[in-house]
Structure 1
Amino acid sequence: MEKDVRIRDIAAEKPEIIFIQPIFKENIWGGDKLRTEYGYPIPSDTTGECWAVSAHENGDCKVANGKYKGRTLTDLWKNQQELFGNLNGDKFPLLVKIIDAKDDLSIQVHPNDSYAKIHENGSLGKTECWYILDCKENQDIVIGHNAATKAELKAMIEKKKWNQLIRTLPIKKGDFLQINPGTVHAIKGGTLILETQQNSDITYRVYDYDRLSNGVPRELHIDKSIDVITVPFQEEKTEVTNDDGTQCKRLISCRYYEVFKFEIMKKEEFIQDKPFLIMSVIEGDGKINAQNIKKGMHFILPNGFNTYSLEGNMTLIASAPKV
């Protein structure tokens, strides 16, 4: 009898899955795929971003259900540290987005932590990665530049020699790219991506195709961009690993995060041994521990969740802070 009581007590202590309510952002380049593909209640047909899991001051997601329902992710981070492995830091470390680029995004670059701390009021820098959810046929993406020196970079930017400066890379659905600080990059129209990044909203625009927003050009950040762009361009190679024979592959492990892809076709058990694990269902539907989940859902498995099962016909992208 005592053993049975102890087993029930241990089971009762298992933390619950934290489902997150996304936040949506309208953008000059946004579209309607967040509604047509995921069923989200977007504010308009120029909605470019779903901040799926965010504890940033520009978009603080709320918990969708359970005993923490209605509380912001920032609130949980500050007051329920045990859910996140008691990690150090005053900010939730990651931010997960879905980006719908109906039109081209600006050509841009992000600073690293040290530059952002000095020039952006103590903000984190921005390392990010992209999983290509969908794109039009024969699509490409802006990654990197062709300048050999800072002087050449500056001259090409000032003379607007964009065709000579910018490098592009062909992409297809299912591709994965790591975007380090200092990398010139841009998503092109007709691309849908899932982005995992540091919890930062700092972007420097290098070029915006001379577009107008409310009748005026959007702000560029030429001097800061030249400061932070890595010269010459250093291509980041990613290696997908699947050493354990499971339906989970690791897409990348870097200084800030690990990202995984689950392709579920049969029921399988996994162990949540990270400080916490963010999961996004990007295709199909199924169950986690007998609880129904479907495309467009985002949730966190807290610290101490331990074993969990996934079953159904679905694809998920998961991320965890690197410790």
Structure 2
Amino acid sequence: MKIPTPLLLGPNQPLDRPYRGGAGIARFRGTTQPSPFTPEDFVASTTEVFAGGGVGLTVLPDGRTLRDAVAADPEAFLGAAHVARFGTRTMLLVKLLDTAERLFVHYHPDDAFAASHLGSPLGKTEAWAVIDAEPAAYAALGFQRPVSETEVHAWWDGQDADAMLAAMNRVPLAAGDTLLVPAGLAHAIGPGVTLVELQQPTDLSVLLERRTLSERDALLGLDLGVAIDGLTREVTPEDRIQSLRGGRGTETLFPADADPYFSAERIRVSGTRELEPSFSVLIVLDGTGTLETAKQSISLSRGATVLTAHGDGPLALSGELDLIRCRPPH
């Protein structure tokens, strides 16, 4: 059975994640928060959580996972050029994320580390587009001074999160802000932030701050010495942070450093607009309108998330809309 796309997607929020959040997702979508520990909504996901079990995968109306549907008909979903370059991987994971508490201090491995130590060809560079944020919201990103391996070991042994954060750059966050987070950089998001997250399609996080998690879970089963080999311990200077915060032009959300991993556009429609064919995830930030293809029409409003396939052809938007279009690397 071929899934009719574009497809309006409901929430896909794994239960019992290790930190609290999700109220901001419920407000944005106009839905009910499943539990206090549902801070992530995996949108059009072909990626499961690191523990496996299919958790995180999007299930389609016919009962198949999106991952299986893409594998069965990759050119229809992804286009011939994408398949020639990347195979059947979508090369994209999109999430809605909301924090009711500060996230763990952690980092994501890059492709080389993931291939060498974790059996994955992909690491996890990610980027954020903030939808909503409480006053004084922030992220911590990279180190403001060089950090030795001995110091990281001491942080881990004492689980000294205050010392970790004191060594990091504090980055204010407000609605409309964007930030690219390259693999290797230590980071954390403060409480009261709701955002759209684009990332390479893996669930690989090395937690320097483990709280109630076991050492094995926090370090992805690696020894500490190996686990911190992928951490960028050099200074991340202010000018580098500013470059990671900047988009390009009026619509491209992230700097050129994001291009090998994913792309995103902030699209505002007043009247009509046509978008080129692509596998993509549309997230409607505000307004109302319609998405039309040659075969169907979908009503859009704030909080809607829509999967589009390359085979849908051109996408016609109409109405008064403010949305983000998330796509794989071009």
TM-score, length-normalised on structure 1?
A: 0.81
Q: Give the AA of the match of 2:65.
A: T
Unaligned regions of 5+ residues in structure 1, if any? 1-14, 244-248
What's 1:256 paired with?
261
Identify which of 57, 64, 71 aligns with 1:71.
64
Query: Closer, same or farther in 2 for the Cα pair 1:155/1:306, shift >3 Å?
Result: same
Mapping of residues 86-235 of structure 1, within 5 Å = 86=80, 87=83, 88-122=86-120, 124-148=122-146, 150-151=148-149, 154=152, 157=155, 160=160, 161-208=163-210, 211-212=211-212, 219-221=217-219, 222-234=224-236, 235=240
Whether the 8 Å CA contact 2:286–2:302 is kept in 1: the answer is: yes
Q: Give the AA of the match of 1:23.
A: N
Whether the 8 Å CA contact 2:106–2:187 is kept in 1: the answer is: yes
What's 2:325 paired with?
318
Q: Any idea what SS the aligned residue of 2:310 has?
A: coil
What's 2:9 paired with?
20
What's 1:10 paired with?
none
What is the Cα deviation at residue 163 of structure 1? 4.4
Query: Closer, same or farther in 2 for the Cα pair 1:50/1:218, shift >3 Å?
Result: farther
RMSD of the alignment, in Å? 2.6
What's 1:81 paired with?
74
| Count of residues in Structure 1 that have an aligned counterpart in Structure 2 | 294
What is the Cα deviation at residue 173 of structure 1? 0.7
Query: Closer, same or farther in 2 for the Cα pair 1:179/1:258, shift >3 Å?
Result: same
What is the Cα deviation at residue 217 of structure 1? 8.5
Cα distance in 2 between the residues matched to 1:50 and 1:104: 18
What is the Cα deviation at residue 137 of structure 1? 0.6
Q: In proportion to residue count, which structure has more helix?
A: 2
Unaligned regions of 5+ residues in structure 2, if any? 49-54
Q: What whole-Å deviation, never above 9, does each CA across 1:26-79 have from its counterpart, x for those lacking one?
A: 333224332233123542133211111211133210235xxxx43321112100
TM-score, length-normalised on structure 2?
A: 0.80
Q: Give the AA of the match of 1:164.
A: A
Q: In proportion to residue count, which structure has more strand?
A: 1
Q: Percent of pairs identical after alignment?
A: 24
- Farther-moved stretch of structure 1 (77-86 vs 153-162): 153-162
What's 2:272 paired with?
268
